[in-house]
Amino acid sequence: MSFSVRLAAGLLFLSLQAPVAQAYVLTAYVDLSEQRMTVMRDGMWLYDWPVSSGRQGYLTPTGDYRATRFSRHHRSRKYNNAPMPYSIFFHGGYAIHGTDQVAQLGRPASHGCIRLHREHAATLFRMAEQAGRANVAVVIRP
């Protein structure tokens, strides 16, 4: 057997042995009464962060959702072009996104979206991109 044939066979064998990247399920569980988000990967707890949801007069929808789209540098068309960095949309125009109004985290303050500290939103966004939209669950409870 020639060297090139042996090399090709060896490379084929190694490629078959290489681990296959597998997507994981990422869950962002939001407790509106506590104004907290728990992030889990494949059911394992990773993070617990304060959030701000819809203030009085602005509903944050409850229920079980899947991510519908990601937008790293989104701006609100509805609210004066307000920055919504690291947006993970889950229900129409509702998203989980970063905010610079960190003093308000831990209490309702938004127009209905789920706001996170910008660094936390960036972490969640990277994990969501790796998992893929179909594998990102957003669970919001009253």
The span from the first CA to the last CA of the chain, in angstroms, equals 68
Please indicate, yes or no, if residue 93 is contained in any of the structural domains.
yes
Domains in the chain: how many in total? 1
Task: For tokens 């959702």, name the residue.
Answer: 65
Please indicate, yes or no, if residue 121 is contained in any of the structural domains.
yes
Is the whole model's pTM more than 0.85, yes or no? no
Which tokens is 92 given? 């129409």
Please indicate, yes or no, if residue 81 is contained in any of the structural domains.
yes
Please indicate, yes or no, if residue 88 is contained in any of the structural domains.
yes
Please indicate, yes or no, if residue 90 is contained in any of the structural domains.
yes
Q: Phi, psi at residue 95, to the nearest 5°?
A: -145, 160
Please indicate, yes or no, if residue 123 is contained in any of the structural domains.
yes
Please indicate, yes or no, if residue 35 is contained in any of the structural domains.
yes
CATH code assigned at 99? 2.40.440.10
* 39 CB-near residues (< 8 Å, 6+ apart): 26, 27, 28, 29, 45, 46, 47, 48, 49, 124, 127
Range of the domain at 84: 24-141
* Interval 108-131: pLDDT, tens: 999 999 999 999 999 999 999 999
Please indicate, yes or no, if residue 67 is contained in any of the structural domains.
yes
* Interval 38-62: pLDDT, tens: 999 999 999 999 999 999 999 999 9
pLDDT at 76: 74
Q: Phi, psi at residue 57, to the nearest 5°?
A: 90, -10
